[in-house]
A and B are shown apart, each in its own frame.
Chain A
């Protein structure tokens, strides 16, 4: 089973403080650590596990700058066989529709039975690259996937719905599946895996190689354009308890006692 995984190199922001760049259109990223998008990390593991069970190869593809090589190296170290980076100055400002179009141009010429992506990216949260890509390729898709079972000619998947409910669907192959977090347990990377990955080549393709025009990519090709970013307004603000840890815990206990909760 030949599998393609689409990954994104994103800043880790769950535990970090965020500031807006002076342009007002992006965030300051100098102090942030970048890594593989959390959802894509699970997609990567799923791809490698499927390869181990059903043979075949895993190709990792990203649209990004040279810095994204560290995410591709991670894919190679964890079991991907090949990595492709799509890089061009003209790609800057592309929305996720354009990203899907760029990926489509490259993937349409590659052999595959399955494409895996994360269900969304932790930075912009569009949750659409995979589904647009599937439509452009003319193949079926399923998103929010929590379980994958390849069978003859089709794949059986569990999709995560709201409230803990799942639905089971059968999807004809070749197909694209966008995976949800928690679908598996991503493995740790061995030192040997990292060493081996450093030696592997990353194929780099530009706008010209991809075969799109400048107008078709970047802001001009996008469905959606960022006008400005801002820190969300606070509607209801918590009363912040101050003082040292001892004083704060005393305040918490007194407040709760006052309300009859303890």
Chain B
């Protein structure tokens, strides 16, 4: 029986959400193509993960080795090259995460298999594998097909597929000996590093005023600071503001920053790339201010203001302060 592989992702003793998102999509694909869904689990002392994953797939291939304790593209690639060459899955799903982007392109190159990265949808049309990807910061979607192959590798965007509960699959755990005899030679994991936290915890705020690239200049930051103050809320931001050093990184909302769920989220001059959206989409009420009516942020907001932020924001601050007097 042919297989669809899902590479389990875990870090610091936790299976990551993207694993279950890929398993849900993988289940759908394996049912449609009459293949088995197989989880590939690499790690050290991961019996607990293996047991949990048996609920989600037909089998769990476990490769347990001290050298696989932490993610390392070198060791992971060695194991996966071996498994994919041996078992020839029709498809291998990997998360488009910090781990996946470090692994999938070199793995596909070594195996000479076509790869599509950062996909938001995937389906077989006959034997052809078709994917949907987002380009230009989420403003355009692309439907694309992969070169015909016995086996494909695809990275799926996190927080895009729903991790549905399924009836327990009662999968079989199969332990496989690590296929490498030599030691790790050129890439070594040292440790995790958590940058120190600042004095403001944006995840605890009821009202967040968030600012993005549209603010243009550090000198303009005062207008959003004033609005945050007028709301009695905290100021947060999207990635470009932290990259420029205008706010510290503990104010960043998104995949590489914080996930927030305030009662009110006001996005100012933020275009709404998925990395940002995934950090704020569960806010109770979202208002977006952006002069581009096609900005992706309006797809996630409850209310939209398509105007110049430099006019709207100061007026809104004044209106709020008037109300308080």
Q: Which residues of A contact B (CB under 8 A)?
A: 11, 13-18, 20, 27, 97, 100, 119-120, 122-128, 130-132, 134-136, 140-144, 156, 158-172, 175, 181-182, 185, 222-232, 234-241, 245-246, 248-250, 252-253, 255-257, 259, 261-262
What is the bound-complex CA distance between A236 and B68, given in angstroms?
A: 42
- B143–A228 touching, CB < 8 Å: yes
What is the bound-complex CA distance between A248 and B115, given in angstroms?
A: 47
B139 CB → nearest A CB, Å: 5
- A161–B118 touching, CB < 8 Å: no
Residue on B with the closest CB to A248? B305
For B3-46 the 0/1 string (1 means CB < 8 A from A) is 00000000100000000000000000000000000000000000
Q: Which stretch from B52-60, B100-108, B171-179 is at the chain A interface? A: B100-108
- B304–A249 touching, CB < 8 Å: no
Known A-B contacts A159-B102, A249-B312; the reply to A223 vs B250 at CB < 8 A is no
B122 CB → nearest A CB, Å: 12
- A238–B302 touching, CB < 8 Å: yes
**Chain B's interface: helix, strand, loop or mixed, by majority?**
mixed
Q: Which stretch from B130-138, B162-170, B217-225 is at the chain A interface? A: B130-138
Interface residues of B in 86-141 (CB under 8 A from A): 96-99, 101-102, 104-106, 108-110, 114-118, 130-131, 133-141
- B304–A164 touching, CB < 8 Å: no
What is the bound-complex CA distance between A238 and B303, given in angstroms?
A: 5
Residue on A with the closest CB to B312? A245
Q: A156-B190, A229-B140 are in contact. List 8 more A-B contacts (CB 8 A).
A: A128-B117, A170-B190, A223-B115, A223-B146, A224-B114, A224-B147, A231-B141, A241-B305
What is the bound-complex CA distance between A156 and B73, given in angstroms?
A: 15
**Inter-chain contacts of B231 with A (CB < 8 A):** 262
- A27–B98 touching, CB < 8 Å: no
- B142–A164 touching, CB < 8 Å: no
- A122–B137 touching, CB < 8 Å: yes
- B141–A245 touching, CB < 8 Å: no
What is the bound-complex CA distance between A250 and B315, given in angstroms?
A: 10
Q: Which residues of B contact A (CB under 8 A)?
A: 11, 70-74, 96-99, 101-102, 104-106, 108-110, 114-118, 130-131, 133-147, 158, 185-195, 207, 213-214, 231, 239-240, 242-245, 249-250, 252, 255-259, 263-264, 271, 285-288, 292-294, 296, 298-307, 311-312, 315-316, 319-320, 323
Contact of B105 among A27, A131, A159, A163 (CB under 8 A): A131
What is the bound-complex CA distance between A16 and B32, given in angstroms?
A: 40
Contact of A135 among B106, B147, B315 (CB under 8 A): B106
- A239–B303 touching, CB < 8 Å: yes
Residue on A with the closest CB to B158? A162
Residue on B with the closest CB to A42? B243
B23 CB → nearest A CB, Å: 19
12 cross-chain CB contacts under 8 A: A122-B137, A125-B117, A131-B106, A141-B102, A144-B98, A165-B192, A169-B190, A171-B187, A172-B185, A240-B298, A248-B307, A262-B231
- B140–A27 touching, CB < 8 Å: yes
- B299–A223 touching, CB < 8 Å: no
What is the bound-complex CA distance between A256 and B284, given in angstroms?
A: 12
What is the bound-complex CA distance between A185 and B285, given in angstroms?
A: 35
What is the bound-complex CA distance between A145 and B300, given in angstroms?
A: 30
What is the bound-complex CA distance between A18 and B190, given in angstroms?
A: 43
- B303–A255 touching, CB < 8 Å: yes
- B315–A162 touching, CB < 8 Å: no
What is the bound-complex CA distance between A238 and B143, given in angstroms?
A: 25
- A142–B105 touching, CB < 8 Å: no
**Inter-chain contacts of B186 with A (CB < 8 A):** 140, 171-172, 175
Residue on B with the closest CB to A175? B186
Interface centre among A158, A239, A250 (most CB of B within 10 A): A239
- B287–A252 touching, CB < 8 Å: yes
B115 CB → nearest A CB, Å: 6
- A140–B187 touching, CB < 8 Å: yes
- B319–A253 touching, CB < 8 Å: yes
- A132–B307 touching, CB < 8 Å: no
**Inter-chain contacts of A172 with B (CB < 8 A):** 185-187
7 smallest CB-CB distances across A and B, nearest first, come from A182-B243, A238-B304, A131-B105, A223-B114, A128-B105, A135-B106, A238-B301
Residue on B with the closest CB to A24? B143
- A119–B101 touching, CB < 8 Å: yes
What is the bound-complex CA distance between A159 and B190, given in angstroms?
A: 11
Contact of A125 among B108, B133, B242 (CB under 8 A): B133
B19 CB → nearest A CB, Å: 13
- B98–A229 touching, CB < 8 Å: no
Known A-B contacts A166-B193, A238-B303, A245-B307; the reply to A261 vs B141 at CB < 8 A is no
- A128–B135 touching, CB < 8 Å: no
Contact of A164 among B72, B190, B249, B287 (CB under 8 A): B249
What is the bound-complex CA distance between A127 and B256, given in angstroms?
A: 16
**Inter-chain contacts of A134 with B (CB < 8 A):** 106
